[in-house]
Structure 1
């Protein structure tokens, strides 16, 4: 059995991992949906990483950290705190030592990529349901708990000296409109230098295609879990 620590994106309630947790359990694995202090203006990225560590029992086997979206900054920082065996980014923002998370958007050219993809795809880049929840059933969207996200974790440079020296994978969401596939392939090549895996679904593929995502995570973790 592998334990997956599921680190959420910005302003995201841990409940959005619920379908994926069930799929992992069906495959004989454990998923822990991490709750971050995203609404606390006093909490920075080190506090977020400590929150990940507090939700993992130290006597458990070495976990695999799974980081989604803005959670990429937290997940990469938390690996040393939980003695992770591997790190899997899923449509995640990739840190660069010395760079502020708030500067990631301009440093990667994300805003331009989002608008270019919207022009080709024929959707409104300012419609968050169309961009963020594409492919998710309307009834599931209506159930989602959306939380406020403090700016505090974005204001200071990412605090580690280097990315974790661990087996690292990246899962691209093939239909992602928030972080379009072609754009993210470039970011992954530049910042990780690895070939990403792909899985169906938009930015919230854990809500629309949890079974396929679970299969990717189990496959990526297999040599390390």
Structure 2
């Protein structure tokens, strides 16, 4: 059995994965959602990587699962941990040495500086009671991480799955498919839900993470 280490996106709240963790555990695996210091003005990608490495310390079979900006942390951990698989969910797929701040223009996608309607962009498909509970876990992402380069030199030769929410309004499926093809030469795997699919469709997300057919050995496009 594997240890699934789940990395949240901007803000760093482990709570994002709370509906997926019990489903992975029920399948006989160990699931660990990592809480990152996203709001700290002195903690960036290197510190995030250290948190993930500490969470997986001593584990022999690690699957890294990263949502959105969490992909920048995951790629920096692949050489530090015995990672057997990598799954990216609605992810900002990084290029070597790229910063999260550069990613937007490099992928030709407009950066979201001021979100006027969080409900419409992120919570449109999340059950109301889950969205209400999430208010206590919301936190800002400090600027420091956006200016730090992703900590890898080339994409690791690790079986990789790119999961895309069919209703993602922040990163629409067609955009995510283009980036996955251009950067990894991989096709995406569609799952139900929006950008926060692990909250709105936890069963489908867990099934996709566990599905053997999801994993594809990466090779340079």
Given the alignment, which residue of 155, 164, 170 partners 2:156? 164
Normalising to structure 2: TM-score of the pair?
0.89
- Equivalence map 1:8-157=2 (5 Å): 8-58=8-58, 60-111=59-110, 126-144=116-134, 145-157=137-149
* Unmatched 5+ stretches in structure 2: 217-221
In 1, Cα distance between equivalents of 2:57 and 2:215: 22
Q: TM-score, normalised to structure 1's length?
A: 0.88
Give per-residue Cα distances to partners, 1:136-185, cap 9 Å, x unaligned.
Answer: 01111010110121111111332321122211110111111111001111
The alignment status of 1:197 with 2:189, answered yes or no, reads yes
Q: How many residues align?
A: 212
d(CA) in 2 for partners of 1:181, 1:222: 17
Bigger shift: residues 60-69 or 23-32? 23-32
Instruction: Give the root-mean-square deviation of aligned CA atoms.
Output: 1.9
Contact persistence 1:38–1:148 (CA under 8 A): yes
Shift of 1:23: 1.2
CA–CA separation in structure 1 for the residues paired with 2:127 and 2:172: 20
CA contact (8 A) 1:68 1:90 kept: yes
Task: Give the distance between the partners of 1:6 and 1:92, measured in 2 at CA.
Answer: 13
User: Residues 81 and 191 from structure 1, CA distance in 2 versus in 1: closer, same or farther, beyond 3 angstroms?
Assistant: same
- The Cα of 1:104 is off from its aligned counterpart by 0.9
Where does structure 1 differ by over 4 angstroms across 4 or more consecutive aligned residues? 220-224
Cα distance in 1 for partners of 2:116, 2:105 equals 17
- The 3-state SS of whatever aligns with 2:31 is strand
Post-superposition offset of 1:197? 0.9
Contact preservation (8 Å) 2:73, 2:150: no
Distance 1:101 1:219, change over 3 A: same
Q: Give a deviation string over 1:2-25, Cα, whole Å, max 9, x none.
A: 211000000141012111001112
